[in-house]
Amino acid sequence: MKKLCIALLVLIVLMCAGMGYMYFKWKKGLTTWDIMAAEKVAGLNFDRTERKLMLGGLERNLASYQELRQVELPNSLSPALLFAPLAPQETAAWARQRIELPADPGLTVPQDPNELAFYSITDLARLIRGRRVTSLQLTQLYLDRLKKYGKELECIVTLTEDLALEQARRADAEIAAGRYRGPLHGIPWGAKDLLATKGIKTSWGAVPYKDQVFDEDATVVTRLEEAGAVLVAKLTLGALAMGDVWYGGKTRNPWNLEQGSSGSSAGSAAATAAGLVGFAIGTETLGSIVSPATRCGVTGLRPTFGRVSRHGAMALSWSMDKIGPLCRSAEDCALVFNAIYGPDGRDRTILEHPFLWEPELDIRTLRIGYLKEAFESKYRNKENDQTVLATFKKLEVELIPIQLPDLPVRAMGFILSAEAAAAFDELTRSNRDDLLVRQGRGAWPDSFRRSRMVPAVEYIQANRMRTLLMERMEELMQDIDVYLVPTSARTSNLSITNLTGHPTVVLPQGFDPKGSPTSIQFVGKLMGEAAVLRVAQAYQEATDFHLRHPDLDANIASYREKQQAQDQN
């Protein structure tokens, strides 16, 4: 009896200690026990390791909720969500601008065909239309370069050689017969491998989907085919549109192969910079065009949200995903954008609004702002941005100082992750997320699990705050047409404009001490692609950074030497 009493006493002490510990942890913050309870309510089941991985992120989410609650939201403020009760409708025919490129008598075909690989779309189009170069010759050139350099850069998922040769021969036949479709006719291009291509694998960069094949093309793919462009490759993306690590490796920066090309439009940027395609298509939810374009030194356009149909593209965030081109120049971006924008009756978020390209527009007639405080702050590569300001001064442009709205923008970041978790709900519940290459804290598997714990009320409240942000940005853009942003400075611009949907052009404006490109951003009004591209074009007409390209053979040789030295050590 005495032993039984002692055992009961020990048990009671242990229970009290356990309860005391749990109370202490409860007072201190979230615990894995809290996650277990939430899992039960949500009908989920994570393991102990996954719960521990989630804790830090859930604490940050909680801090975000608290920060958002500090801003008073009137009852009349609705969330930035659009309910569309009507089924998708076929749209009536609408006019797309036909862009005619002026002749350039001084344009010649280089003796070294590899130099041709770095020509702009505008120059390639003139050569093709003048039948000084055939689409088949150009396509074979790019296919050869893809085979030679693609493996080193790890930027190709699938080479679409048979399709490309067929499309090139058709383009040459049509041009010879006088049926010229426009500036993209016969130009080889590459697609980020989250765009569906009929009968060709579309891997989304991730092991669980690496063998999937769709039975239709994405709208963007269809429109480029209608424009006469030639698809030569499906290009890499970070798995499920995060970073530059995909199931086959890590896509490299052609300027410095020790660096990744950034993401998630990693292959699109790398292949364009390396002269493996005439242009490429990428996507952005939160930096996936801006970041790799910066790293690889190409020009990228992230259009206004609702401008380019996402039908047939992998969904990550239905309220933030955008599709745009990565090219050698702003003018090239205008040509590609003109071919792909507009309603298709499939993506119900697309708005019908004309794009009128005016390459001769005097930019002094536009009101151009700049983030004065950001340009004056201390940050890496600041001197490159100062030369940008000096260039606009030479162009007789009076820059207007502006400030971005002061709202808890970063705290709204879980809008994206919550939508992404919904997009890949089955992947999480089936535990097939274990197949993804990246598994650490902040990787998609962890993010998807944490996002299951975002309360619906907080998601809606964040979208109400987003409405407020959109209203503040609209007030700001009443006074300007375009504004300049230093990419290297710490600002909230990338988060703001991806939440509000404003168009951005990013382009090279110099190099860092290690020889890698740096960039500047131009942001325009909603639906203001024509103005922001024209300002970017004017800057490029006054500089030559967009004309420079990496010495691939030398850079690859250097990378191999360093790898061999590391292996020997």
Helix-, strand-, coil-residue percentages of the chain, each rounded to 5: 45, 15, 40
User: Would you call 27 a catalytic residue per the annotation?
Assistant: no
Q: Of these residues, 64, 120, 203, 264, which one is catalytic?
A: 264
The model's confidence at residue 149, banded by pLDDT at 50, 70 and 90, is very high
pLDDT at res. 124: 98
**Using an 8 Å Cβ cutoff, are 223 and 208 in contact?**
no
Q: What is the pLDDT of residues 234-243, one digit of tens each?
A: 999 999 999 9
Domain assignment present for 3: no
Domain assignment present for 20: no
pLDDT at res. 160: 98
**Using an 8 Å Cβ cutoff, are 168 and 230 in contact?**
yes
Q: Is the pLDDT of residue 112 over 50?
A: yes
As a whole number, mean pLDDT of residues 493-510 equals: 98
Task: Quote the CA–CA distance of 447 and 57 in Å, as a whole number.
Answer: 8
**Using an 8 Å Cβ cutoff, are 417 and 450 in contact?**
yes
User: Would you call 264 a catalytic residue per the annotation?
Assistant: yes
pLDDT at res. 83: 67
Q: Is the pLDDT of residue 288 over 50?
A: yes
pLDDT at res. 566: 87
The model's confidence at residue 425, banded by pLDDT at 50, 70 and 90, is very high
CB atoms within 10 A of CB 474: 13
Q: What is the pLDDT of residues 211-234, one digit of tens each?
A: 999 999 999 999 999 999 999 999
- In sequence order, what are the residues at sequence separation of 6 or more whose Cβ sits closer than 8 angstroms to the Cβ of residue 162? none
Domain assignment present for 108: no
Q: Is the pLDDT of residue 5 over 80?
A: no
Q: Is the pLDDT of residue 15 over 80?
A: no
Q: What is the pLDDT of residues 365-393, one digit of tens each?
A: 999 999 999 999 999 999 999 999 999 99
Q: Is the pLDDT of residue 13 over 80?
A: no
> How far are the Cα atoms of 292, 371, 478, 496, 525 from residue 474, in angstroms, in the given order?
28, 16, 6, 12, 8
pLDDT at res. 18: 58
Closest CA to 471 of 418, 405, 410, 391: 405
What percentage of residues in the chain have a pLDDT greater than 90? Answer: 88
CA angle centred on 97, ends 92 and 98, rounded to 5°: 120
Helices (DSSP H) in 29-101: which residue ranges? 32-42, 48-68
> How far are the Cα atoms of 177, 298, 390, 521, 557 from residue 271, in angstroms, in the given order?
32, 10, 31, 21, 18
What rounded mean pLDDT belongs to the chain?
94
Q: Which of 23-37, 266-280, 342-356, 487-501 has the lowest mean pLDDT?
A: 23-37
Q: Is the pLDDT of residue 20 over 60?
A: no
As a whole number, mean pLDDT of residues 457-477 equals: 96
- In sequence order, what are the residues at sequence separation of 6 or more whose Cβ sits closer than 8 angstroms to the Cβ of residue 60? none
- In sequence order, what are the residues at sequence separation of 6 or more whose Cβ sits closer than 8 angstroms to the Cβ of residue 378? none
Q: Of these residues, 120, 268, 288, 417, which one is catalytic?
A: 288
Domain assignment present for 85: no
pLDDT at res. 87: 66
Domain assignment present for 464: yes
As a whole number, mean pLDDT of residues 140-147 equals: 98
Burial of 42 per CB tally in 10 Å (0-12, 13-18, 19+): exposed
**Using an 8 Å Cβ cutoff, are 548 and 323 in contact?**
no
Domain assignment present for 74: no
**Using an 8 Å Cβ cutoff, are 239 and 208 in contact?**
no
Please tell me the total count of domains within the chain: 1
User: Would you call 492 a catalytic residue per the annotation?
Assistant: no
User: Domain holding 275: CATH number?
Assistant: 3.90.1300.10
Domain assignment present for 55: no
What percentage of residues in the chain have a pLDDT greater than 70? Answer: 93
Task: Quote the CA–CA distance of 168 and 138 in Å, as a whole number.
Answer: 9
CA-CA-CA-CA dihedral for 334, 336, 340, 342, to nearest 10: 10
DSSP string for 307-319 = SB--TTB--S-TT
Long-range contacts of 363-367 (CB under 8 A, 24+ apart): 363/395, 363/397, 363/534, 363/535, 363/538, 364/395, 364/396, 364/397, 366/481, 366/482, 366/531, 366/534, 366/535, 367/400, 367/479, 367/480, 367/481, 367/482
pLDDT at res. 78: 86
pLDDT at res. 139: 98
pLDDT at res. 4: 62
- Range(s) of the domain holding residue 120: 113-349+363-408+458-547
Domain assignment present for 488: yes
Q: Is the pLDDT of residue 3 over 60?
A: yes
DSSP string for 207-248 = GGGTT-B-SS--HHHHHHHHTT-EEEEEE--STTSSSSEETT
pLDDT at res. 84: 66
Q: Is the pLDDT of residue 455 over 80?
A: yes
Q: What is the pLDDT of residues 524-540, one digit of tens each?
A: 999 999 999 999 999 99
Q: Of these residues, 64, 192, 203, 265, which one is catalytic?
A: 192
The model's confidence at residue 24, banded by pLDDT at 50, 70 and 90, is very low
Tokens of 531: 């103005």
Closest CA to 528 of 494, 481, 495, 496: 481
Closest CA to 122 of 301, 361, 333, 271: 333
pLDDT at res. 14: 60
